[in-house]
Amino acid sequence: MPGFSAPEIEGKLSLRASRTSELVLDKVNVPDSNRLPEAKGLSGPLSCLNQARFGIAWGTLGLATDCYAEALKYSQERVQFDKPIAQFQLTQKKLVELHTDISLGQIMMLQFGRMKESGNLRHQHVSMAKMFCCELGLRAARVARSILGGSGILADFHCMRHSQNMESVFTYEGTHEVHELILGREITGLDGFS
């Protein structure tokens, strides 16, 4: 439509595999025939956003799992002081914590998926999922990179790329803090947005 443009954003250091553009609406006249059917106010676009957030939660859980698997394999193969670094207590602690949090995330997402199928999933659940899984993905990428040491910054491994992508995912489709406020309002009944 006249007035719409999508200039590409250049120089990204994260999410580099996809093209990203700014959406500019300059005096765009959208006819009533293009309205979302039965949508009132922001409920239409926000319901779409909820679907995106739910998918992001699953994706970041997968990213965390990939980082964990990469760190586990590397730690079992990398020998320091005549033994694999997976045998060191601090490495085991990191792996155990990641494994546990990933398992918790999988259980949560499985339950939320069942709730979604039955029509009982609320937007607060989706905020919790995105908030938890994004934080887990970011932490998993950082922990995996620390287990890999200097090798963790090499293109041969995925954890550094995942870390850079997670920095963006952590903030898009609602920042971490926005989801905390959504859940805070649900828990306390008080609106922290105002």
Q: Is residue 182 part of a domain?
A: yes
| Percent of the chain surpassing pLDDT 90 | 73
Residue 10 appears among annotated catalytic residues: no
Q: Print the domain residue range for 100.
A: 54-188
Q: How many domains does the chain have?
A: 1
CATH code at position 64: 1.20.140.10
* pLDDT at residue 45, rounded to an integer: 73
Q: Is residue 172 part of a domain?
A: yes
Q: Is residue 37 part of a domain?
A: no
pLDDT confidence tier of residue 113, bands split at 50, 70 and 90: very high
Q: How far is 155 from 61, CA to CA, in rounded Å?
A: 21
β pairing state of 4-5 and 24-25: antiparallel
Q: Is residue 133 part of a domain?
A: yes
- Nearest 5°: the CA angle 181, 37, 44 is 10
* pLDDT at residue 96, rounded to an integer: 98
Q: Is residue 66 part of a domain?
A: yes
pLDDT at 36 over 80: no
Q: Is residue 31 part of a domain?
A: no
| Nearest one of 141, 178, 193 to 163, comparing CA atoms | 141
Report pTM: 0.85
Q: Is residue 148 part of a domain?
A: yes
Catalytic residue among 173, 177, 180, 186: 173
